[in-house]
Chain A
Amino acid sequence: MSAAFSKRVDAALADPILKIAVERTAGTAEAKRAAAIDAFAQFEDARTRAAAIKDHVVAHLGFYLEQFEAAATAAGAHVHYARTADEACAIVIDICKAAGARTVARSKSMMGEEIGLPHALAEAGIVRVETDLAEHIIQLADERPSHIVWPAMHKTSAQVSALFKQHHALPHSEETIPAMAESARRHLREGMLGADVGISGANFLIADSGAVCTVTNEGNAELSLVPPRVHIVTAGIEKLVPSMGHAVQMLRLLARSATGATLTQYTTFYTGPKRAADPDGPDAMHIVLIDNGRSAMRDDGLAEMLRCIRCGACMNHCVVFRQIGGHAYGGTYPGPMGAVLTPALDGLAASRDLPNACTLNGKCQEVCPVKIPLPTLLRGWREKSWREGLEPATMRQGIAAWAWVAQRPRLYRLAVRAAIFAMRRFGRGWITALPLAGGWTAHRDLPAPDAESFMRRYARGER
Chain B
Amino acid sequence: MTPAAPPPRVALFVTCLVDLIRPRIGFAAIRALEAAGCTVVVPAGQTCCGQPALNSGARAEATAIAKRTIALLEGHDAIVVPSGSCAATIRVQYPELFEHDPAWLARAEAVAARTYEIMAYLDEVRGWRPDTALDATATYHDSCSGLRELGIKAQPRRLLNHVAGLSLIPLKGAETCCGFGGTFCVKYPAISNAIATEKAAAIDTSGADLLLAGDLGCLMNMAGKLHRDGSAVRAFHAIEVIAGMGGGPAIGEET
Contact = CB atoms under 8 A, between A and B. Distances in A.
Interface stretch (B17-25, B109-117, B201-209): B17-25
Given A420-B20, A429-B254, A445-B227, A440 B186 contact: yes
Contacts of A419: 20
A105 B166 CA distance: 63
A444 B228 contact: yes
Given A437-B186, A439-B187, A444-B196, A382 B23 contact: no
Interface string A306-342: 0000000000000110011000000000000000000
B189 A440 contact: yes
A450 interface: yes
B64 A403 contact: yes
A129 to B, nearest CB: 37
Interface residues of A, number: 69
Nearest to A14: B190
Q: Looking at A363, A447, A463, which has the most chain B CB atoms within 10 Å of its CB?
A: A447
B44 interface: yes
A385 B186 CA distance: 18
A319 B228 contact: no
B174 interface: no
Given A406-B47, A443-B228, A447-B223, A362 B145 contact: yes
Interface in B155-176: 175-176
A114 to B, nearest CB: 25
B27 A357 contact: no
A277 interface: no
Given A9-B190, A439-B189, A443-B192, A363 B177 contact: yes
Interface in A40-84: none
Nearest to A353: B188
Given A319-B176, A319-B179, A385-B57, A444 B188 contact: no
A119 interface: no
B244 to A, nearest CB: 14
B61 A416 contact: no
Contacts of A439: 185-187, 189
A269 B175 CA distance: 40
A393 interface: no
Interface residues of B, number: 71
Contacts of A386: 56-59
Given A406-B48, A409-B47, A443-B196, A359 B223 contact: no
B21 A362 contact: no
A412 B47 contact: yes
Contacts of B44: 409, 455, 459
B55 interface: yes
B61 A429 contact: no
A402 B52 contact: yes
A458 B148 contact: no
Contact of B20 (A430, A438, A449): A449
Contact of B65 (A406, A454, A458, A462): A406
B65 A407 contact: yes
A454 B21 CA distance: 9
A400 B251 CA distance: 30
A445 B222 CA distance: 10
A213 interface: no
Nearest to A452: B23
A172 interface: no
Q: Looking at A1, A10, A360, A429, which has the most chain B CB atoms within 10 Å of its CB?
A: A360
